[in-house]
Structure 1
């Protein structure tokens, strides 16, 4: 189970030989015009849009002296129209709050609120006087193909914003010819090597450390939160230590979300005949959980229950929750109509084979949300409801096929059963051998004891002392009297 270069686990860890399910559900806003005037948003889920996600670790280097590996991540997505929701092709028109516009407004309010007036003018130039804060585009354009941001403008405000974007958002935008910037939710991740260098333990010195994250970009901890929340706790999420018990709390660090998650045991389960332990996880309650409060500047600034603020992690004013605001503060869900949280459809779960620590089934589900900021300084935002609303949610799924579960059975469980049978056979053989040795060692004493007992018995009954006697039923035998004739 170590990440030694010669093990099967290392090969699978370095390049997963099958695709993960990557499903995206978009929220279509059916009353955008009313929301622009302050109404409660009404949404309809559209999806799933199905993609194959191939995961690979590149630029991999082993460090024998520290028993570690360094690598970078490379994810590649392939759209599978035939596996999407009924009738979906990716060309559907979707209406939702403009992630780029709302994200930019959120950053400016946080860092440079004096520039809000200029941002409104910049949007008018870049997006040709938009009527509202919503985007109307095809699903695949929003997800991967991209939305054009027209930076070929000479006015001061659009030009200033585009200059700032080129400097601050170079890792989130595609820069095309003629000052055309292209924005999408996942386009920059597709087929692009991640810039961060991750360092994990190989587990060759101690198998219980396998996959443990100890540094990113050479730094042993983050510098964006407070105290313990800056530490890397747990594995990289693709491998876990073996010999899991139901009392173990697993830990994995998510680089995308800049925090560790600690799933807990829920129940025993099974998958293709293999016994598994099911673990579940949630976002948590930052304000009331002492272990999570260090992610906030203070307990008073923590987000509502079930919400996670990504502004320090991603630089964008996004919030993460479980899909449909499952397990969130009820007030969050009440501010949006059309959501139906369901624990069976929206929770995070992993089924582990406990001996090897192998995840056989996994469903990682998270929803990305944004705040409809209300501000008088931008005409497009002066009447917004000032609430957190959903944009989309994703499900990253794993279910090992028979090839790999059979490999697990043949390499672990069948030999384990054989060893179990052999164990008792050897124990029985050992006991019989021990008894035979004892008998052989004490055979003279046993024979002497047997002979001695036989001689005593013979001495009690001596044939020569036994007299033969005639026995009569009436009495002793006598000669008959003579009778004279």
Structure 2
């Protein structure tokens, strides 16, 4: 009885207290540990901390896989046919990053340049993929001259028209994959046109280069300086972007509204810890000169680590919302007459017009591969194009507790807007948006990072599990004690005799009611009625 009334409740109470301490104290300890180490900066001895070293030269497995679309019926397209493409790839490049940096404002901010290098990997590419493969693609620079032709004087118009007429290839040209991507190529037609005495000034004013390539000049280079928060004072500010290329806001030549020109969000390299499932992430992407919103679209365990899955927010495909921000080009050419496919004064749905951001302002549109998320009319306008699938979408997996990326799949497609302008020899060419490449930029965390995240996840789960078990046992002991006492009390009452032995020998007296309280009413006495004889008088 003493065990039940004393020891069990004390043990239960202690377990409850201990369970609550485990559930509250251990996660708090982990959180404080993360806050104390999750910043870019120095150790007390002056050396760079582990996070900064990892950030400077990330050991993630990073690859850039590119698929190229080659147009097989170039001459027929000029005569009005629908483009037919063949997709080949992947041409895979191993990516390495390294940063040059300077701490500022008491180590609260850091200015850095992120250098990217790409090396072709035949082992990770398709068996028949070589950089000297020939592909036929739209002539990017010619579109600049077509636009200039429409606004030029007679002499310049004549020079451009004659050059295009004499050229074997005009709207399309055939180049090596390596030159198309990083090495750059000479455009014989554009070079010929730009050597005309009257046209060369137009070429210079348009900024037409001697060589062109989709990523020409971007290998072993950076995309400008970034000024971010180090997270030293507050972990929630880690990665916050203040300036890009020494600009706190983009100049007027970028985009078509002040909000679109804002430089905000993070740099996409670092994320703050303790992310919430309803928390949106805003990432500034220097390659497209704009911020992109990401939202949680799911949760999953990736290689033993709990993650949130982030994908582009639905608002990214909301044309009217993007127009209100200033991302719609009011002078966008009309490719589709249906406003449900291409709203007025904007690019077709699902496409991002980055012509104001790209060097020399070519008519380039970014979409997801195979026009995933766009109206089906865009894919139907191109023969040979694979149907879009879930494998074409972009997503990032982030451990929300630490804010570390575990896997990133950034998939995008570069498309060229092809227009005939007012050139007679191109009068049959139909306005179209032709894909030129699609790419998948992948980054997967290394084993060391995985090990650290797995430890954090493991100890957090174990502490939660142990805390719940101990708390449950404590509650069980308390309930067991209460139940035992109630049962014993119940049986004690049941076992007590209802009649004692002494009571059996006693005479049971039934008390009479109090006589004084009983009133007996006597029945009334009925007196006999005596009828006396009546004397009748004789008449």
**If the TM-score is normalised by the length of the shorter chain, which range does it land in?**
0.7 to 0.9
Alpha-carbon deviations, 1:299-335, whole Å to 9, x = none? 8422221011112222222111111111112332222
Tell me, yes or no, if the aligned pair for 1:286 and 1:304 is still in contact at 8 Å. no
Q: Which residue of 2 aligns with 1:356?
A: 402
The correspondence of residues 419-458 of structure 1 with structure 2, limited to 5 A, is none
Bigger drift between 223-232 and 392-401 goes to 223-232
Q: 1:337 aligns with which of 383, 395, 399?
A: 383
Q: Which residue of 1 aligns with 2:326?
A: 294
Q: Which residue of 1 aligns with 2:443?
A: 398
The correspondence of residues 81-96 of structure 1 with structure 2, limited to 5 A, is 81-96=122-137
TM-score between both structures, scaled by the size of structure 2: 0.69
Q: Which residue of 2 aligns with 1:280?
A: 311
Q: Which residue of 2 aligns with 1:201?
A: 229
TM-score between both structures, scaled by the size of structure 1: 0.76
Q: Report deviation, 1:369.
A: 0.8
Residues in 1 aligned to 2:302 and 2:62: alpha-carbon distance in whole angstroms: 17
Residues in 1 aligned to 2:464 and 2:375: alpha-carbon distance in whole angstroms: 51
1:183 aligns with 2:229: no
Structure 2: gaps spanning 5 or more residues: 1-37, 43-47, 331-342, 473-539
Residues in 2 aligned to 1:116 and 1:270: alpha-carbon distance in whole angstroms: 65
Q: Report deviation, 1:404.
A: 2.3
The correspondence of residues 62-141 of structure 1 with structure 2, limited to 5 A, is 62-65=103-106, 67-106=108-147, 108=148, 113-114=151-152, 118=156, 121=159, 129-141=167-179
1:409 aligns with 2:446: no
Q: Which residue of 1 aligns with 2:427?
A: 382
Residues 249 and 292 from structure 1, CA distance in 2 versus in 1: closer, same or farther, beyond 3 angstroms? farther
Q: Report deviation, 1:16.
A: 1.7
1:4 aligns with 2:36: no
Residues 186 and 120 from structure 1, CA distance in 2 versus in 1: closer, same or farther, beyond 3 angstroms? farther
- Secondary structure, counterpart of 2:436 in structure 1: strand
Bigger drift between 262-271 and 336-345 goes to 336-345
Q: Report deviation, 1:415.
A: 5.2
Q: Report deviation, 1:416.
A: 4.2
Alpha-carbon deviations, 1:233-257, whole Å to 9, x = none? 3111111111112111111111111
- Secondary structure, counterpart of 1:313 in structure 2: coil
Residues in 2 aligned to 1:120 and 1:183: alpha-carbon distance in whole angstroms: 25
- Secondary structure, counterpart of 1:288 in structure 2: helix
Residues 390 and 425 from structure 1, CA distance in 2 versus in 1: closer, same or farther, beyond 3 angstroms? closer
Residues in 2 aligned to 1:417 and 1:162: alpha-carbon distance in whole angstroms: 64
Q: Which residue of 2 aligns with 1:220?
A: 248
Residues 136 and 146 from structure 1, CA distance in 2 versus in 1: closer, same or farther, beyond 3 angstroms? same
Residues in 2 aligned to 1:268 and 1:213: alpha-carbon distance in whole angstroms: 26
- Secondary structure, counterpart of 2:231 in structure 1: coil
Residues in 2 aligned to 1:49 and 1:38: alpha-carbon distance in whole angstroms: 31
- Secondary structure, counterpart of 1:135 in structure 2: strand
Q: Which residue of 2 aligns with 1:442?
A: none
- Secondary structure, counterpart of 2:370 in structure 1: helix
- Secondary structure, counterpart of 2:435 in structure 1: strand
Residues in 2 aligned to 1:140 and 1:321: alpha-carbon distance in whole angstroms: 23
Alpha-carbon deviations, 1:406-457, whole Å to 9, x = none? 13334x34554676689799999xxxxxxxxxxxxxxxxxxxxxxxxxxxxx
Residues in 1 aligned to 2:146 and 2:176: alpha-carbon distance in whole angstroms: 23
Q: Which residue of 2 aligns with 1:466?
A: none
Tell me, yes or no, if the aligned pair for 1:286 and 1:292 is still in contact at 8 Å. no
The correspondence of residues 162-173 of structure 1 with structure 2, limited to 5 A, is 163-164=204-205, 168=207, 173=209
Q: Which residue of 1 aligns with 2:297?
A: 266
Q: Report deviation, 1:105.
A: 3.5
Residues in 2 aligned to 1:372 and 1:126: alpha-carbon distance in whole angstroms: 15
- Secondary structure, counterpart of 1:141 in structure 2: helix
Q: Which residue of 2 aligns with 1:33?
A: 75
Tell me, yes or no, if the aligned pair for 1:336 and 1:389 is still in contact at 8 Å. yes
Residues in 2 aligned to 1:149 and 1:43: alpha-carbon distance in whole angstroms: 21
1:310 aligns with 2:354: yes
Q: Report deviation, 1:33.
A: 1.3
Tell me, yes or no, if the aligned pair for 2:415 and 2:435 is still in contact at 8 Å. yes
Structure 1: gaps spanning 5 or more residues: 174-180, 429-485
User: What's the C-alpha RMSD, in Å, of the aligned pairs?
Assistant: 3.2
Residues 388 and 117 from structure 1, CA distance in 2 versus in 1: closer, same or farther, beyond 3 angstroms? farther
Q: 1:46 aligns with which of 81, 88, 92?
A: 88
Residues 114 and 419 from structure 1, CA distance in 2 versus in 1: closer, same or farther, beyond 3 angstroms? same
Residues in 1 aligned to 2:353 and 2:272: alpha-carbon distance in whole angstroms: 30
Larger RCO (CA within 8 A; separation ≥ 6): 2
- Secondary structure, counterpart of 1:188 in structure 2: coil
Tell me, yes or no, if the aligned pair for 1:29 and 1:95 is still in contact at 8 Å. yes
Q: 2:221 aligns with which of 181, 192, 215?
A: 192
Bigger drift between 90-99 and 401-410 goes to 401-410
Count of aligned pairs between the two proteins: 411
